[in-house]
Amino acid sequence: MSDLFDLTGKVALVTGGSRGLGRAMSLGFARAGADVIIASRKLDACEAVAQEVRALGRKAMAHACHVGRWDELEGLVDAAYAAFGKVDILVNNAALSPVMNNADMTEDFFDKIIGVNFKGPFRLSTLVGNRMVKGDGGAIINISSGASLHPLPLVGPYSASKAALNALTSVFAADFGPKVRVNTIVCGSFNTDMFQPGDDAKARMAASAKAINRVGEPEELVTTALYLASPASSYTTGAMIRVDGGVP
């Protein structure tokens, strides 16, 4: 069974890979044998995780990129293919999750949320997915949120952008199949810097996890990501898998 989760020889590209869930997945893929491209806005933070990947005996590349900026994504993909020749696993993890009254939302901030959470994954999946189809195939994993299924008033644009990301999963699963599998992980509240216990809206989200009454740890997402990235999920595509502690 361990061979099903073996990523030896694979290359993973993780956006928002320098911290939180992205860092946990980057290191998890490396432990399973993959080389990793870590992308986020701050190069020094990406390089710190890249060093952790190299310490595990894998190759790594750090790349500074704002996922919400359409033109920067082509540069990211070109750099990835120049360095490794391929991308086998794409994880659209970068996200912007402000808590704000809708009446206080500015157009600029609204556009930033949609850009990072929806426009960026659309563009990046298109760029990488089409190359995967022409090559040996691959897996795309979208990191969504329970807020896409259970929206809260203070995270309206965020909830809507993640619901749109859920829809993209079905679109690209059909578009890129059968060589490329596209799936979504719907996350609950995890113990990262995006979740602050003093934050009322997010605290209510965490408290709603009735079955397992706590916030998740980043490492608890890694096994699901490994499943979707690996041959273990060879017949799974267009799926949404909830990892949320049992939100009703």
CA dihedral sign of residues 150, 156, 160, 166: negative
CA dihedral sign of residues 241, 127, 123, 95: positive
- Provide the domain count of the chain: 1
Task: Tell me, yes or no, whether 206 lies in a domain.
Answer: no
Task: Tell me, yes or no, whether 144 lies in a domain.
Answer: yes
Q: If pLDDT is split at 50, 70 and 90, which confidence band does 190 have?
A: confident
| Distance separating alpha carbons of residues 108 and 68, to the nearest angstrom | 12
Task: Tell me, yes or no, whether 196 lies in a domain.
Answer: no
| Distance separating alpha carbons of residues 16 and 31, to the nearest angstrom | 19
The per-residue pLDDT for 200 is 53
Supply the CATH number for residue 145's domain.
3.40.50.720
In the block, residue with structure tokens 């989200």: 205
Task: Tell me, yes or no, whether 6 lies in a domain.
Answer: yes
Task: Tell me, yes or no, whether 195 lies in a domain.
Answer: no
Task: Tell me, yes or no, whether 209 lies in a domain.
Answer: no
Q: If pLDDT is split at 50, 70 and 90, which confidence band does 248 have?
A: confident
196 pLDDT more than 70: no
Task: Tell me, yes or no, whether 139 lies in a domain.
Answer: yes
Q: Which residues are catalytic?
A: 158
Task: Tell me, yes or no, whether 192 lies in a domain.
Answer: no
If you average pLDDT over residues 225-248, what whole number do you get?
95
The per-residue pLDDT for 2 is 64
Spacing of C-alpha 148 from chain mean position: 15
Structural domain range at position 8? 2-185+216-243
Give the pTM. Answer: 0.93
